[in-house]
Chains A and B, each alone.
Chain A
């Protein structure tokens, strides 16, 4: 079974702090994704990566950066956390190549910025 794990289920941070969210997958997937989910807005793509050290902006990249130094690990970084970044963050992975591959999601990290 594909497994996608996220470093924390719940996280509380203060405004202005630098925040790291980590995601690890164990299926040698090329693609990894970070989404955020908010009530009424649904899931929105922040960033994705299709290879080590490669990244692409999604729909809402402002205020975020990412890092992918190893194939299995994809980190989301909030350089200076703000209250409007309070949200549920979901990581996903999929095989690369053609476009037909299934995405697998982690359990999510509920981040609260106070």
Chain B
């Protein structure tokens, strides 16, 4: 059974720092991996989608990588800002639905 793990569960950094969030999954047979952002009490906003054939995707200050063979993905956030404070979730798609990690809660202080 596919399991998705995110480490660390929480992270606090000062504004301007570059940071990496980690996601690992147990079964490499996936269609894609999606990174989401969730603000408190709100729904999920899709940040990046990496297809299984891709190695990375970039959007603005965000860069996500995928290493299917090792079952790992990273989300790199450059020059962090207080507005980046949120919970970041990764999810893998192996069938029709997504399997989620429990998220990393990021706090960026000014």
Contact = CB atoms under 8 A, between A and B. Distances in A.
Contacts, number: 59
Interface string A16-58: 0000000000000001010000001111010010100000101
A110 B34 contact: no
Nearest to B45: A105
Interface stretch (B11-19, B20-28, B94-102): B94-102
A50 B96 contact: yes
12 contacts: A42-B101, A42-B103, A43-B100, A48-B97, A88-B41, A99-B93, A99-B95, A102-B49, A103-B91, A103-B98, A105-B36, A106-B43
Interface of A: 31, 33, 40-43, 45, 48, 50, 56, 58, 88, 90, 92, 98-100, 102-108, 110
Interface of B: 31-32, 34, 36, 41-46, 49, 51-52, 89, 91, 93, 95-98, 100-103
